[in-house]
Structure 1
Amino acid sequence: MQALAQRAYQDVFATLAHTGCEHLLRLWNYLPDINGDGGGLERYRQFNLGRQQAFFDAQRPAFEGAPAACALGTQGGPFCVHFLAGRTQPLQVENPRQVSAYHYPSEYGPRSPSFSRAAVFDAGAGQVALLISGTASIVGHASLHAGDVAAQTRETLTNLEAVLGAARQRSSARFELDQLSLTVYVRHASDAAQVRSLLGDALGADAVALRDAVLLQGDVCRRELLVEIEAHAFAPGEVRA
């Protein structure tokens, strides 16, 4: 997994150099058996080794300035990396309730995850784009509410609100939770109905975010986490340099 991740990210960076779209805005990483043992080290942790090394080799920021991203486990198929890039430099956003992922202590693996909690950038036509990384029930660097999908969902929504607050400091755009486009990953498909109901309680039955939310089965990067939510939005405004 380490070598695959390093090679995949080398290919990403080579593509950026070839196209002239040098700024990574967002990445989606899909790993089969993300929590499985990859020969003495969890596959997600192996992925983090390869990803970070590729950032170093390309002289790209792996800590402050790293792009927004998520990493989800799949039930099979190949390892896939999807990315969005452009010619506009994004501004990274962190969550004041959480330790930045790239500063996680070594108990989470020999290399920290190289991503920011969110990014904002000028999308043109007077619009600001917000891309929120996969967000889960983590406060500080610790997972909370093990085994309780309802409590994890509520904690995740609180974290999304915190990210929105931080994003408002980086632009004049007024992003609101009930207006986001949400993709919700649940570890157990049987939890999907309960999670959707909890979203309705938090967002309101008529919220655009609830109406358009996409729920998918996917394994979250930590075994104890049962739900993860990513989001994006566009709103009128300007990015604050």
Structure 2
Amino acid sequence: MTLAAGLELYWQAPADAMAGAQCLGVMRFGGAGAVLPANLPCLQVDTPTLQPVPCWQAAWTTDAALESGIHGEVRYRRGGGLLFGVLRVREAEFAGEDVAGALQRAAAHAYRQLFAAVDALGHPGLLRVWNYLPRINAIEHGSERYRQFNAGRQDAFAACGRALSGEVPAACALGSAGGDLVLAFLASTGRPRAVENPRQVSAYDYPVDYGPRSPTFSRAALLQHGGATLLFVSGTASIVGHRTVHLGDVRAQTRETLANIEAVLDEAARVGGGPRLPAAALGYIAYVRHTADLPAVRAEVDTHLGEQARVVYVQADVCRADLLVEIEASGGHPIQGCD
């Protein structure tokens, strides 16, 4: 896949890169970090970074002229056919008399805001969504909070006339240390293509064992942009078919996760009809459930990708209580500032 000149990921971005006119948006894990321009969309996740630095912040940059704004509750920047947006939703505001449905309603509200923004701003091609919510594995009011989130997300997809399977965006959903439901997304004027993993059942086809409403995301998404192919690999874990494998073994789960990413890269090349991206060329976020497992996870990642691989390690709960690690990735775009 050719690299896209129109979108770059600035790895561990310095303040001047984030404050510059070409910054589309920022993702930040751990700590407050540098003060950013008020009109810059920034995903601030309340969860600690384990390596390489206490506060990791990445900037999506582009060579296009950018416009900043707010649509509803979404803060965004757009330009060159891409839109980056963020929003934060307070779950307590949706409790009302029926506390049990608060998270589902909050998630549905967040996604309705998202869809209203991308449609109104002329970027209907939802490419990638990042979701973070506190207590993701907690059982509250008789069901796991991740399952409540999935129900709300699917409510919004249906209400906004979006497909519930097939051409759906890449995504992840992780547990945060606290705070609100926070989302970030990338959308396009173009049409992304969904990619599935032949080793796994598509998430939207999971049996009811994993909840009455299936997760609405694809294993990866491709976008032809600026004469190149962008690839976003969803949060990926140790799942074969629809089952978690290697229970309690973080090293084996990490190896299985990396095998799944390799399978997605194979399928992306087939779907996109172009060369296969080498795994070592991507940028990664690895979510580790238990801080003590970091050395084991990193050892497996280094063995598979090489010690020079661009990986940030974050402590976060994963969407299934029996999963110890989840890894996401992106590629097809230059990655700057990672030496």
**Superposition TM-score, scaled by structure 1 size:** 0.93
Note the 1:34-45 alignment, pairs <5 A.
34-45=136-147
Residue 3 (1) aligns with residue 105 (2): yes
Return 175-184 or 130-139, whichever deviates more.
175-184
Aligned counterpart in structure 2 of residue 226 of structure 1, from 314, 324, 336: 324
Aligned counterpart in structure 2 of residue 18 of structure 1, from 102, 107, 120: 120
Mapped to 2, the partners of 1:218 and 1:4 lie a distance apart of 21
The structure that is strand-richer by fraction is 2
The answer for unaligned runs of 5 or more in structure 1 is 237-241
How far the C-alpha of 1:235 sits from its partner, in A, is 6.3
Matched residue, 1:203? 305
The answer for unaligned runs of 5 or more in structure 2 is 1-102, 335-339
SS in 1 for 2:255: helix
Mapped to 1, the partners of 2:114 and 2:124 lie a distance apart of 10
The higher radius of gyration belongs to: 2
Residue 113 (1) aligns with residue 215 (2): yes
8 A contact 2:318–2:326 mirrored in 1:
yes
Q: Deviations over 1:166-187 (max 9, x none)?
A: 0001221321111111110000
SS in 2 for 1:28: strand
Mapped to 2, the partners of 1:38 and 1:88 lie a distance apart of 40
Aligned counterpart in structure 2 of residue 191 of structure 1, from 293, 310, 313: 293
Q: Which amino acid aligns with 1:151?
A: A
Matched residue, 1:79? 181
Q: Which amino acid aligns with 2:201?
A: V
Matched residue, 2:158? 56
Matched residue, 1:213? 311
Matched residue, 1:239? none
Matched residue, 2:130? 28
Matched residue, 2:283? 181
Matched residue, 2:257? 156
Number of residues paired by the alignment? 231
Q: Deviations over 1:124-176 (max 9, x none)?
A: 1x321000000000000000011110000000010001000000012213211
Mapped to 1, the partners of 2:217 and 2:258 lie a distance apart of 19
8 A contact 1:31–1:78 mirrored in 2:
yes
